[in-house]
Structure 1
Amino acid sequence: MLTKTSSQSLTEQLASRFATRIRDRLLAPGARLPSVRQCAQAQGVSPSTVVAAYDQLLAQGLVEARKNRGFFVREMAQVREPRSSDAINSVATELPGPRAPMNATALIRGMFQRPSDKPQPGMGAFPPEWLETTFMPAAVRKVTGTRALQEFSLQYGEPAGDLGLRRALSHKLAGLNVPAAPEQIITTVGATHALDIVSRTLLRAGDPVMVEEPGWAIEFARLDAMGMRILPVPRRADGPDLAVMARYCEVHSPKLFVSVSVFHNPTGYCLTPGSAHRVLQLANAHDFHIVEDDTYSHIAPDHATRLSSLDGLQRTVYVNGFAKILAPNWRIGFLAAPPALAERLLDTKLLATLTTPALLEKALAWCIEQGQLRRHAERIRTRLDLARARSVKLALAAGCTFAAEPAGLFGWVDTGVDTDALALRMLDAGYLLAPGSLFHAGRKPGTLMRINFASTQDAAFWKKYAEMVRRP
């Protein structure tokens, strides 16, 4: 709550609070501020104080007033409004029109600028205490304790990445029935870098790209920043909407399809074999590539259906990383590609980063070879199963329903209220939410939100959530 002081009025404090969030992009362009009445009630001030604070934000150029609609965070550049594709009839003969601004950076910045020390339900990772191990420091000590340390520190590493790690990854992928020789594997600075390498190699500005919706907010934002035409494909329980994909193929000739087959973010859905076969048939018939992001493979069953396994890395490029399960700051990811694409992808990596640091790659190879990573992942899965059960129970007790069967790290929750507005109120209470609009190419508002099961076991959060939902 705001408190009047001799140095700063309530109006100035309120304006400063919103200004800081806007500049830190915790409130993204296009986000609507609470109504004057709602804000006054939430902050315990008079409506005139809120009006005066909003006037200050207007004067600073941070917000704009829209007649009969309210106050919105100002868009700093002209952007385009997306087309919806929630039914096949919405796929028109021309390419989808311009899109709205992406605010995936709000979630990313929230990872580094946590609003409080409370568990954060909107985060996309496991809590740090879940990832603490003794074997990771041991792996680094083992690598740095060798005489070879100075040798590989004073020269550039192998362009494709440490050979020992690529061999370990090749063996690991064989366990998932994904055939990839070490020569087909390229290490990267995290999985997002791998996705970027694939996009920059296979696409040019203006190319149409099919992306699952709802989907990973950062992928929408990344492709948009590269000037790609995003074709949103509705994601269902069994896989992507194949009818919409087929129509896109006929009309737009897309160059790429980006998919999360296993524990899809944010729904938790897993691809079925039948759907996977039809997606591959479309790719062969219409000559497009598929990049399969398997970020959540470490907490998924090995037998889960993967496009790269069924396809044998012919039209698919497999992407994965270790930030989620092991060490976010090690920034190690990789891609496995068809032999014909591997050299082109490596050229793109060389232009961006030359090589990747060998020291931590060697340490990771040791963790994999010694079975430490496998045992660590098993412990995380067991802990996550218990956390998911507790989180689901608390969410249901708070009046939520699940739009998808709870699975994996994330829950796709229906709150029954506007989650963009709810996110603003919860931010005041120190909680960062991930409203459903983040996971649509055109920031489609609604009542859904993504929760992290590992971070929503706290009854205090759900008590505050229920209180905020009841507010007018």
Structure 2
Amino acid sequence: MLTRTSSQSLTAQLADRLAERIRNRLLLPGARLPSVRECARQQGVSPYTVVAAYDQLLALGLVEARRQRGFFVRDSGRDPARDPAQPAGDPLQVSALSMVTQMMASRTPADASSLIRSMFHRPSDKPQPGMGVFPPDWLDSSFMPTAVRRMTSTAMLQELSLQYGEPAGDAALRRSLSQKLVGINVPAAPDQIVTTIGATHALDIVSRTMLRAGDPVMVEEPGWALEFARLEALGMRILPVPRRADGPDLDVMAQYCALHSPKLFVSVSVLHNPTGYSLSPNSAHRVLKLANEHDFHIVEDDTYSHLAPEHATRLSALDGLQRTIYVSGFAKILAPNWRIGFLAASPALKERLLETKLLATLTSPALFERALSWCIDQGQLRRHAERVRIRLEGARARAAKLVLAHGCTFASEPAGLFGWVDTGVDTDMLTQRMLDQGYLLAPGSLFHARRPPTTLMRINFASSQDASFWKVFAKTRDEL
């Protein structure tokens, strides 16, 4: 909170806080700042202090004042001579569009990039329920330093550092990954695997290989915020497919296939983010049948495979990598900054995917790939994942009790790392209020392609066990 004992004035503190949120895209271009009176009430300061802070933001070019409407985050890419709330065209259409624009601007606090930025710039040292990763102490281990030391002996370091590695990735790691995939019944030989700089890079390689700007892509909704943002940035037409407990809505998929002939379907079969749902065998067979009938490929994002049972239904196992492309990585479970992911595909498609990787990165760092191979082959990764799963089970049970005790409900059965929670209030508005308390939330609108208002939010069970957070949450929610 703002403090009168700070070396900065209250005006400077408030201006700095809002400026930081704008620069980190926790407040998007077009978002309306609270009214002077409302901001004064929220922050416990005088209206004069708020006016002075808003004036500083105006001077910095971060906001703009609109007559009789308030202060809005400035869009640096917009033509300043034209008010986006007053576009050219039919007056009736202009009026309706203005109303929609104002509604969206006043309630849109964060986007996918802000959630990613928060991984690097935490709002405080408090536990962050909106984060998408395990807390660092959950991933601390002794075997990772050992693996790196083995790879940095003089001879090995020269071998892995002083020349480009293999384009498809370190051969030892691809052999280890091939054996690992046997455990979940995904048939991928080492020469069908391409290593990547994280799972997100693998998804990007698939998109750039299989699609061109304007192509329609089916994506599960709710879904991973970054995937919507990434596909939009590439110019794709996103076709949101509602995700249900047993799998995607097949009727909606069939309609999309008939009307748009999509080329790709992006799916999280196991421990879906954010709902925790896992695909049923019946639904999996029907999805594959639809893919064969309408000639589209499926990219299966199995990022949370280390937290799931091996017998869980996966499209790639049933399909044998004919129409499926399997994607996974190790940032969530092992080492976020090693940035190691991979994809597996049919031999012919693998060569196309490898071409795309070559054009973007040439190859990927062999030193950490070889270290990961050692961790897999020695059983260290498997034992580490087992420990994390056991710890997560306890955290999930404790967090679920806190969720229910503070007046929320679950929109889906708690499973995996994330919980899909109904708060009963607009979570975009709630997110901004909680930022004032030092907590980052992941509002439900982030997980939809068109950002509709919603009372849902995603929580990270590992970082949602703090009772003090839930007390602040309940108090803030009740004040909305």
TM-score normalised by structure 2 residue count:
0.90
Structure 1 match to 2:450: 442
TM-fit CA distance, 1:135: 0.7
Distance (Å, rounded) in 2 between the aligned partners of 1:75 and 1:436: 24
Structure 1 match to 2:123: 115
Distance (Å, rounded) in 2 between the aligned partners of 1:368 and 1:106: 33
CA distances 1:405-425 after superposition (whole Å, capped 9, x unpaired): 110000001111111111111
Relative to structure 1, is the Cα distance of residues 7 and 328 closer, same or farther in structure 2, using a 3 angstrom cutoff?
closer
TM-fit CA distance, 1:62: 2.8
Structure 1 match to 2:323: 315
> Which of 212, 219, 236 matches 1:211?
219
> Which of 276, 292, 307 matches 2:300?
292
Count of matched residue pairs: 454
TM-fit CA distance, 1:39: 2.2
Distance (Å, rounded) in 2 between the aligned partners of 1:398 and 1:300: 28
The 8 Å contact of residues 263 and 408 in structure 1, kept in 2 or not, is answered as: yes
The answer to whether 1:26 aligns with 2:34 is no
Structure 2 match to 1:225: 233
TM-fit CA distance, 1:71: 4.7
Distance (Å, rounded) in 2 between the aligned partners of 1:312 and 1:77: 46
The answer to whether 1:359 aligns with 2:384 is no
The answer to whether 1:406 aligns with 2:414 is yes
Distance (Å, rounded) in 1 between the aligned partners of 2:122 and 2:213: 34
> Which of 121, 128, 133 matches 1:125?
133
Aligned pairs for 1:313-352 (under 5 A) are: 313-352=321-360
- Identity within the alignment, %: 78
Structure 1 match to 2:40: 40
Relative to structure 1, is the Cα distance of residues 341 and 333 closer, same or farther in structure 2, using a 3 angstrom cutoff?
same
TM-fit CA distance, 1:155: 0.9
Relative to structure 1, is the Cα distance of residues 3 and 382 closer, same or farther in structure 2, using a 3 angstrom cutoff?
closer
> Which of 101, 104, 112 matches 1:104?
112
TM-fit CA distance, 1:6: 10
Distance (Å, rounded) in 2 between the aligned partners of 1:6 and 1:295: 44
The answer to whether 1:62 aligns with 2:70 is no
Distance (Å, rounded) in 2 between the aligned partners of 1:335 and 1:6: 51
TM-fit CA distance, 1:190: 0.3
SS in 2 for 1:147: helix
TM-fit CA distance, 1:36: 3.9
TM-fit CA distance, 1:12: 3.9
Unaligned residue ranges in structure 2 (runs of 5+): 85-103
Relative to structure 1, is the Cα distance of residues 214 and 76 closer, same or farther in structure 2, using a 3 angstrom cutoff?
farther
The RMSD of aligned alpha carbons is 2.2
CA distances 1:103-147 after superposition (whole Å, capped 9, x unpaired): 211011111011111111110000000000111111111222262
TM-fit CA distance, 1:10: 3.3
SS in 2 for 1:355: coil
CA distances 1:324-346 after superposition (whole Å, capped 9, x unpaired): 00000100000001111011100
Distance (Å, rounded) in 2 between the aligned partners of 1:67 and 1:335: 53
The 8 Å contact of residues 28 and 106 in structure 1, kept in 2 or not, is answered as: no
Structure 1 match to 2:13: 13
TM-fit CA distance, 1:152: 2.9
The 8 Å contact of residues 26 and 109 in structure 1, kept in 2 or not, is answered as: no
Relative to structure 1, is the Cα distance of residues 137 and 51 closer, same or farther in structure 2, using a 3 angstrom cutoff?
same
The 8 Å contact of residues 2 and 10 in structure 1, kept in 2 or not, is answered as: yes
Distance (Å, rounded) in 1 between the aligned partners of 2:30 and 2:281: 39
TM-fit CA distance, 1:154: 1.2
Structure 1 match to 2:93: none
SS in 1 for 2:387: helix
Distance (Å, rounded) in 1 between the aligned partners of 2:184 and 2:467: 38
CA distances 1:396-442 after superposition (whole Å, capped 9, x unpaired): 11111111111000000111111111111111111111111111111
AA at the equivalent of 1:330: W
Distance (Å, rounded) in 2 between the aligned partners of 1:78 and 1:342: 41
Unaligned residue ranges in structure 1 (runs of 5+): 81-98
> Which of 264, 278, 288 matches 1:280?
288
Structure 1 match to 2:73: 73
TM-fit CA distance, 1:66: 6.9
The 8 Å contact of residues 26 and 110 in structure 1, kept in 2 or not, is answered as: no
TM-score normalised by structure 1 residue count:
0.91
